[in-house]
Structure 1
Amino acid sequence: MRDISNLLWPEAPFGAEQRPFGRARDMLTAVAIDWAVQRGGEPLPVGAAAVYLGVRRHGNAYEVNSDTLSIGFRTTVIDTPDELPELLAILDRTLTRARRQAAILAGHRLGGDLARILDRSRVPLRGAAGVIDVWAHRMTKTRGLARMVDTAVEAATTGADLDMPLPATPVALPTSPDESAQGCRRVLARALAIGLTAAVHTGRYHWEGQFRVREVTDRETWDLLPADTATQPVPPLCR
């Protein structure tokens, strides 16, 4: 399994000292899950990513662009089905924290993904179950919980100009380190695209032109993953 993050403490993503934010601020958490279609079997979750975007809980939108946006993230991809319980445990802890500590929790058809995951899991997943409990009623404000946004429904007509689509496409289990790295980038890019769409929908972000999601993903993972031979590497920004 490949599990990478640019956070100093991935298990405490809302800490004030977390890179790249360095101070306490409200966060939008976006979650994406990739699925592999097994021959003669049920779809298997093979990758998951969470992206953390700094937002204002109230007030004007941040003007952002793909050259300067800083994100926090964790992205995980399994190599064999035996590693599925560990992937689900990481995802469940992410959802547990985001449900209570994030200002906004975003996903693309996340309710359906989590329902399938709960059906597959042999152990209770309290974070996933807690999110499902409120996802179907996410238009109702609940004190103490993150605002939920499904980018396939209420944000479907937001019009965020991105260089990639939001829906998941079937993938395969990695068979090499390069494929594992590509899987990490792929699910991370989709989580970022979901987060950006939710940020526009809720009035937290605004930008001009097309936002280059893949470029940001390459820049943020340049020191954590081997170079993607399919694209030119993007040099990091000075932090």
Structure 2
Amino acid sequence: MREFTNLAWPETPFGAEQRPFGQHIDMLAACTFEWTGEPEGSERGPVAASLVYLRVRRRGSTQQVSDDTLSIGFRTAVIEDPTEVPDLLTLADRALTRARRHAAIMAGHWLGADLDRLNTQAAVPLRGVDGVLSAWSDRTGQQRGVAVMIDTGSEANKTGADLGMPLQPAPERVPDCPDCAAEVARRALTRCLAVGLTAALHTSRYAWEGTFRVPEAIERAGWDVLSGRSGRTCPRLTSRDGDAGRAADTAGRPVVRAAT
């Protein structure tokens, strides 16, 4: 399993609680999962788990942001063999626990269905998954000290966010080389950021002009870590030729923009 992150502090995004007399930072945490596209009747398996952290204002005026200046913290893990699924579940469980407690807002796209599916894959109880799933099922109720939950597939599906890309996931393959893993991570983080931006717009934390170029923002934030061993883009995942390219390519997917 490969992890990709631009966070220097593994437990706390942006290191707010690691610095002496660190100042509290309100954050929006977006969480997404990517899955295999197994034939009908087969069980789909998780390929990647991603978290993107965005600084937000809990109260006050809306922040004007742009794709070339937005500060983005991210962490994603990608398996390279189906036997690594238990490790991915453990990592995701810990990450969900932290996000639920440390973030002011937690966002996902039909995240409840993803969490249910994670539980069916787990051989041991996933307490972080169960905690978020319980809160996700009752998003109208607010618990003290716990993030506000926003589903971009439900209550935040009519924000009119101009992102130039869909929020719905496309099937992924388990990568079999470092370059392939980096490409999966790049796509996973791009979708995760899009979910976070949609939630930020829905809650009036962010606003921007024109189309927010999500892939460019991820490239800028992760250029030094989102590369494979060779530093090149994997042709098997980006080419339109061959089964692998067709399975992973998302360029032909329709752009879905929520109605205003």
Q: TM-score under structure 2 normalisation?
A: 0.83
Cα-to-partner distance string for 1:128-150 (whole Å, 9 max, x where unaligned): 00011111110122222100000
Is the CA contact 1:163–1:214 (under 8 Å) kept in the aligned structure 2? Answer: no
> Which residue number corresponds to residue 192 of structure 2?
191
Alpha-carbon distance change, 85 to 221 in structure 1, aligned in 2, over 3 angstroms: same
Tell me, yes or no, if structure 1 residue 148 matches structure 2 residue 149. yes
Unaligned runs of 5+ in 1: 231-239
Shift of 1:24: 3.2
> Which residue number corresponds to residue 256 of structure 2?
none
Shift of 1:13: 2.4
What percent identity do the matched residue pairs reach? Answer: 55
**Hey, what's the Cα distance between the residues in 2 that align with 1:25 and 1:110?**
24
Is the CA contact 2:27–2:55 (under 8 Å) kept in the aligned structure 1? Answer: yes
> Which residue number corresponds to residue 35 of structure 2?
35
Is the CA contact 1:15–1:24 (under 8 Å) kept in the aligned structure 2? Answer: no
Shift of 1:23: 5.1
Shift of 1:104: 0.2
Is the CA contact 1:14–1:27 (under 8 Å) kept in the aligned structure 2? Answer: no
> Which residue number corresponds to residue 12 of structure 2?
12
Is the CA contact 1:92–1:128 (under 8 Å) kept in the aligned structure 2? Answer: yes
Q: Which runs of 4+ in 1 moved over 3 A?
A: 227-230
Alpha-carbon distance change, 207 to 228 in structure 1, aligned in 2, over 3 angstroms: farther
Shift of 1:11: 2.4
Tell me, yes or no, if structure 1 residue 206 matches structure 2 residue 207. yes
Is the CA contact 2:14–2:73 (under 8 Å) kept in the aligned structure 1? Answer: no
Cα-to-partner distance string for 1:124-178 (whole Å, 9 max, x where unaligned): 1111000111111101222221000000000100011102110111111112222
Give aligned pairs, total: 228
Q: Look up the equivalent residue of 1:29 and give its one-letter code.
A: A
**Hey, what's the Cα distance between the residues in 1 that align with 2:232 and 2:69?**
21
When Rg is computed on C-alpha atoms for both structures, the one with the higher figure is: 2
What are the within-5 Å matches in structure 2 for residues 19-58 of structure 1?
Answer: 24-39=24-39, 41-58=42-59
Shift of 1:17: 6.3
> What is the alpha-carbon root mean square deviation over aligned residues?
1.8
> Which residue number corresponds to residue 65 of structure 1?
66
Shift of 1:12: 2.5
Q: TM-score under structure 1 normalisation?
A: 0.90
| Partner-residue secondary structure (3-state), 1:86 | helix
Q: Look up the equivalent residue of 1:6 and give its one-letter code.
A: N
What are the within-5 Å matches in structure 2 for residues 164-179 of structure 1?
Answer: 164-179=165-180
Unaligned runs of 5+ in 2: 239-260
